[in-house]
Chain A
Amino acid sequence: MQEKKTAEATDIAVAKHLFERVARMGKYDLPGLSQWGQSLGEFCGDLIMSAPRPSGGVNILIGDFIGRGLPAAVAALPVAEVFYGMTEKGFGLSDIIEEINKKLLFILPEGLFCAACLIELEQEGKMLAIWNGGFPDLLVLDKNSQIKHRIPSSHTPLGVNETEKTDLDTVFVEVEAGDKVFCYTDGIINSLDQNRGIFGQQQVEKLLLQDAELSTLSAAISAHTLNAEQADDMTLLELDISAIQNYDAELSGNGSQISFPPAQWQVDFDFSAEVLKQLDLVPMVINMLMQIQAPHEHKQRIYTVLAEMLSNALEHGVLKLDSGMKESINGFADYYALRAERLAELKNAYIKISLNHEPYEEGGKLLIRVEDSGEGFDYQRQARGLAENTDDFCGRGHGLLLQLCSEYSVSGKGNIADAAYIWTQ
C-alpha cells in the first residue's frame, strides 16, 4: 500500500515536471516577459509560451484551459508542440492559431476548450499583432500608465469551432519603448477574498492606471485572496516593450546566424523534375544559406534574388510560361493555373543551383548560378528592349535583379543566370 502510494507520488511529480517544462517555463527565457501565477492543485490549467521568430520578433501564447488539473496539462502538450514547431519554422500567428485549433478540436472531449491570447511582436518591436479568443481585455499602457490600446476578445476560444477565415484575423497595434502589455486570465478577475467577494476588472485597471507594474498588481491579488479558497488558476503576464526591443535588436544585430568570419565555401544542388514538383526550393535554400553564412539584415534581399532567379528558371525555362500573360487580372490567375498544370506533368527536367561564397572587403560576396534544362531565350534582344523601355513596369523581376545584385548576367543559350550579391556586416 505504502509502495503504491510512493509510486503514484513519483508519477505525479514526473508528470508535473514535464508539464512545467513544456507549458509554464517556455523554451526560451524571454527578457521583458514577467509572469505571476497561482494554481489550485498540482497542475495548472494556464500556460505561457514564448519563442523568437526566425525573421526577428517574438511570438507569445497565453492560454487558459477550461477544466483544470491533469486533463488540461495533457492537452497543453500538443499546443506547445505546434506553437514552438511552427514559430521556429517562421509561420505567422494565423497559421499557428488555425493549427492549434484543429488539433484541440480533434483531441479535446466535449466541454473542454482553451481560451487563448496570442501576441506577435514584429521585428524591431514597433508593432504587435494580437489575437484574443476568450481572454479578458488585453491592455497596452504607455510610460505614464495610461491605457493606450484595449484589445477585447473577438474570437471564440480554441478547440470550440471549426476554423473559419474570420476567426483568424489579428488586431494590429503600434507600440514604442516604455509601453507595457498586460494580459491576465479570468481567474485574476474572479479571484475571491474570504467573504467570497471578487477582485473585478475595474480593480485590475484602477491599480494599473496608478502604477503599471506586475508586482503591484500581484501583491494586491495576494492580499485579496489571503486565506480564501479559490475556484480557478490565476495567471498574470507583463510584457515590457523596451526590454523586448533591446533583446530583439541584439538577436538581429549581432547576427546570430554568423558564427565565423566570412569564409570561402561552395554548395551545389541538382534538382530533378520529381523534386521540383514537390519542394518549394526558395525557403529551403535560403534557410540553408542562413545557417551556413549570411547576414540577417540581408535575408529579405537575398530571398528576393533567389526567388526571382529560381522562378525565372522554373517558369520560363523549364515550364515555358509567357510572363506577358500576367498583365491582366484573369491572365495572372491563368498563368499560375497553367504553372501548376505543367509542373504536375513535368518529366526529364532539372534546375541546378550553385552557391559560391568568398570573403570580400568587410563582408562577403555570394555568387549564385542557376541553370535550367529549358531551351533558353534570346537574352540579347530582351536586353535591348529593356534599355529602350526604362519606364515600363513589365520585366519587374529583371529590374529587381539588376538593382539588388552587383552583377547579373545571362549566358549559354539563355538558360544560365549568374548573380553576385555583396554584403557587409
Chain B
Amino acid sequence: MSISTSTEGNKQTINVQGRFDFSVQAEFRQAYEAVGGGSTFIINFASADYMDSSALGMLLLLRDYAGGDSAKIELKNCRAEIKNILEISNFQKLFKIN
C-alpha cells in the first residue's frame, strides 16, 4: 500500500509512498474522492521515491476534481529530483509546490 490519507476538518492530506505511478491510480483517486472537491488537498511527497508522467496526469485530474483554477492543492515535501520533474512540466504554474 503506497497511498494513505488523513482528514482534518476541510483538509485532506494524501501521503504518497514509494513509486507514484499508474499502479496507485485507483488508490490515489479514492483518496481524493473521499472528500468533496472544495476541500484543501495536501499531497505529501516525503516518502515518494519516484514519479513518472502518469503521476503528473493523476495530479491534473485531482486539480480538475478540486475545481481547476480555483483548486486548493499543495504539493509538500518534494525532494529536489521530484521537484525537478514537476517543474519540467511547468507544474509550479498549476500547483503550490514546497
Chain A residues close to B by CB (< 8 Å): 55, 90-95, 98, 120, 122-124, 127, 129, 165, 168-170, 172, 283, 297, 299-301, 303-304, 307-308, 311, 326, 328-329, 332-333, 336, 339, 393, 396-397, 399-400, 403-404
Contact = CB atoms under 8 A, between A and B. Distances in A.
Contacts of A297: 81
B88 A399 contact: yes
Nearest to B16: A92
B67 to A, nearest CB: 14
Contact of A396 (B26, B57, B61): B57
Interface in B54-90: 54, 56-58, 60-61, 64-65, 77, 79, 81-82, 84-85, 88-90
Contact of B50 (A94, A303, A333, A396): A303
Contacts of B57: 326, 332, 396
Interface residues of B, number: 39
16 contacts: A91-B18, A92-B17, A93-B17, A94-B17, A95-B18, A127-B46, A172-B46, A283-B19, A300-B49, A300-B50, A301-B85, A311-B52, A311-B53, A393-B56, A396-B57, A397-B53
Contacts of A129: 46-47
Contacts of A333: 25-26, 29
B6 interface: yes
B12 interface: no
A419 B5 CA distance: 37
A23 to B, nearest CB: 25
Given A129-B47, A300-B81, A304-B52, A169 B4 contact: yes
A92 B18 contact: yes
Given A90-B18, A172-B15, A396 B89 contact: yes
A299 B5 CA distance: 27
B6 A169 contact: yes
A301 B81 contact: yes
Given A169-B4, A170-B4, A393-B89, A336 B25 contact: yes
Contact of A307 (B21, B26, B79, B89): B21
A400 B4 contact: no
A329 B61 CA distance: 6
A404 B52 CA distance: 12
Nearest to B27: A165
B15 A403 contact: no
Contact of A332 (B21, B25, B84, B89): B25
A55 B85 CA distance: 17
A300 B79 CA distance: 10
B95 interface: no
B1 A329 contact: no
